[in-house]
Amino acid sequence: MRNDHATTSLLRHVGQHGVLVALLVLILFGWLRYDNFLGSFNVLSLLRYNAMFALVALGMCYVIMTGGIDLSVGSTAALGSVVAALLSPYGLLAGLVGGMAAGLAIGVINGLVVTRLGVLPFIATLATMLAASGTALLLAGNQSVSVSYETAFVELGQGDLLSFPVPAWIALLAYVGGSVVLNRTAFGRHVLAVGGNEDASRLMGLPAQRTKFVVYALSGTLAGLAGVILAAQFGAGQPIEGVGWELFAIASVVVGGTLLTGGVGSVGATLAGVLLLGLIFNMLNFENGMGWISLSAYWQSVIRGGFLLLVVILQAKLMTREEAAA
């Protein structure tokens, strides 16, 4: 019995901190194996590129903690990138605010359809995914929209501040904010309570519907912001980008140990999940560079899928053990 208990608690630690351990192991492995793996160029490009995924995953993390899901984030980001690119001639701020507002609009629609019409989040956000994608294509005239290089807009994606990439700054601030809100504010507690047991939290007088509405609005806004960075980084608003982002974000959240049933979650672990999945691609490049093997880029999705498989099986084992112990 005692031994069994010890395994359970070990497993729980793995569940909570597993993603950090895995991340550290991966970094250590890369540092020992590849030259310049921890060189500033590689680290900074990795952070710059993954900032937009991190933003999308943060919103997804909040939605999932309430027990919902947001499939629209990918096309919302695409829409945000198009709006930002169209507004970029009017300056950095116009592009930034415009892109985020477009995301907010989609998020508000999601929130209203889920809370007012009572449609399942899965279906509601599936529908807005199509709608956002259609709107992005209409606005962009079915092609990518180049951003203006006259204004400072591209700094949002390509610039540096204190020799640290601007997108990474934005993501870092968002995560610090997200973590503080979750752990230190009433709203954060409401999110977890609603996800844990919606009926109970409603009976306790918590504003369950409003909480859900806000997380969808938040997720939309963050996806819009990711779109702004996408446009600034690659110099164009891209209406057909963002395909599969939602599932990548869900995978990051799950790898981070957040339960899909809601009620439990960690913002920091989600960030670690994003970095972990991003590192796999990065290390594949290094591995190919060494010339021992040549794995095509296509292997990255196979490896990512394998990682996800490992994590969910581990999580499931942990859950059944806890149920058995309870």
Partner 1 sequence: MIDAKHLRAALPQADVTGLLRRYGALVALVVLILFNLAFTPNFATWQTLNVNLTQVCAIVIVAVGMTLVIATGGIDLSVGSLMAISGALAPLIFLGHLVPLPHPLLGVALALIVPVLVAGAFGWFNGWLITRFRIQPIIATLVLFIAGRGIAQVMTNGNLQVFKVPEFQFIGLGRVLGVPFQALLMLAIVVLAAWALQRTVFGREILAVGGNERAARLAGIPVAVVKRRVYLISGLCAGLAGLIVIAINSASDANLIGLGMELDTIAAVAVGGTLLTGGRATVVGTFLGALIIQLVRYTLLANGVPDAAALVVKAAIIVLAVWLQRQGRT
Q: Do the bridges between strand 164-165 and strand 145-146 make them parallel or antiparallel, or are there none, so unpaired? A: unpaired
Q: Which residue has the tokens 């507002």?
A: 101
Q: How far is the CB of 319 from partner 1 (least distance, A)?
A: 7
Binding partner 1 by CB under 8 A: which of 24, 93, 138, 290? 138
One of 55, 129, 192, 225 touching partner 1 (CB under 8 A): 129
Is 166 or 308 the residue whose CB approaches partner 1 more closely?
308
Q: Which two tokens mark 92?
A: 């950095």
Q: Does the protein bind partner 1 through residue 212 (CB under 8 A)? A: no
**295 contacts: CB under 8 Å, gap ≥ 6:** 284, 287, 288
Closer residue to partner 1 in complex, CB, 96/144:
144
* Residue carrying the six token digits 């972990």: 276
Question: Which of 119, 172, 181, 264 contacts partner 1 by CB under 8 A?
Answer: 119
94, burial (CB in 10 Å: exposed 0-12, middle 13-18, buried 19+)? middle
Task: Choose the stretch contacting partner 1; rule: CB under 8 A; options: 47-55, 201-209, 266-274, 315-323.
Answer: 315-323
Residue 165 bridge partners (DSSP): 160
Burial label, 221 (beta-carbon count in 10 A; 0-12, 13-18, 19+): buried
Is 304 a residue that touches partner 1 (CB under 8 A)?
A: yes
Q: Going by DSSP bridges, is the β-strand pair 160-161/236-237 parallel, antiparallel, or unpaired?
A: unpaired
Size of the site for partner 1 (CB under 8 A): 50
In the list 118, 291, 292, 326, the residue contacting partner 1 (rule: CB under 8 A) is: 118
Residue whose entry in the numeric block shows the structure tokens 């990548």: 248
- Report if residue 264 touches partner 1, rule: CB under 8 A: no
Q: Which is nearer to partner 1, 83 or 136 (CB)?
A: 136
**Least distance in angstroms from the C-beta of 169 to partner 1:** 29
Shortest CA distance to 56 belongs to which of 255, 278, 265, 225?
225
54 contacts 177 by C-beta, under 8 angstroms: no
Query: Which two three-digit tokens encode residue 173?
Result: 């601030």
Q: Smallest gap, in angstroms, from Cβ of residue 242 to partner 1?
A: 12
Please report how close the Cβ of residue 82 comes to partner 1 at its closest, in angstroms.
11
- 112/72 Cα distance (integer angstroms): 14
Least distance between partner 1 and beta carbon 76 (Å): 13
User: Do residues 224 and 290 lie in contact, with contact meaning Cβ atoms separated by under 8 Å?
Assistant: no
Smaller CB separation from partner 1, 151 or 300: 300
- Which listed range, 22-30, 213-221, 242-250, 263-271, lies at the site for partner 1 (CB under 8 A)? 242-250
Which residues of the chain form contacts with partner 1 (CB under 8 A)? 69, 71, 113, 117-120, 122-124, 126-131, 133-138, 142, 243, 247-248, 250-251, 254, 260-261, 296, 298-306, 308-309, 312-313, 315-317, 319-320
